[in-house]
Amino acid sequence: MRLSYALVILAIAWIIWATPFLLSGRLATKAAKVDRRARWGIVLQGVGYSLLWQARFWERSPSRWRAVLSLGFLVAASLLAWSGARALGRQWRIDAGLNADHQLVMSGPYRLVRHPIYASMLCLLAGTGLMISPWPLFAAATLVFVIGTEIRVRIEDDLLSSRFGDRFREYQRSVPAYVPFVR
């Protein structure tokens, strides 16, 4: 696959992935409770994404198998993003927070993972990294991203546990955080 096609595919995939958040962000209500410590996770996730673009990716084209695997991750990222944002509706926000009338969402993609939007972000990272990054940079980006995601997941899980108690803890025990089948 030629590099110009790869970059067009990545641009389209990122736009498709981001669209549900841009649309649903306008619907969000003001949070009754916010934990701003999760912003450190956002910073690390951003660093992870930025690491993917640090090699001289414009000098080489991805191999066919990397491009195909990348496309699979990018499609999964978009499906998880759209279905996760839709299931959350007005409860979606960038900051870790709870609305006054917050509901525990366990339907749609939330049956597979507790944090499908983070799963979509991990798929977006994998799809992008496979398309343009050398293995060492891809591994470093993934490590930094996962650390940031773990910070966010733990803070959000604590917020949900404080609101929903045993109901959330049972959900937490039965459904993985953001990687299906991994506890």
pLDDT tens by residue, 24-68: 765 566 778 888 899 999 999 999 999 999 988 877 788 999 999
Distance, CA of 59 to CA of 6 (rounded, Å)? 12
What is 3-174's CATH topology? Four Helix Bundle (Hemerythrin (Met), subunit A) (1.20.120)
Angle at 182 between CA 166 and CA 161, to 5 degrees: 20
Give the range among 19-23, 97-101, 103-107, 162-166 with minimum mean pLDDT: 97-101
More confidently predicted of 64 and 183: 64
- Residue 27 confidence (pLDDT): 58
**The pTM is what?**
0.93
Contact present, 129 and 54 (Cβ < 8 Å): no
Residue 151, classified by CB atoms within 10 Å of its CB into exposed (0-12), middle (13-18) or buried (19+), is: buried
Q: pLDDT exceeding 70 applies to what percent of the chain?
A: 95
- Residue 182 confidence (pLDDT): 77
- Residue 25 confidence (pLDDT): 61
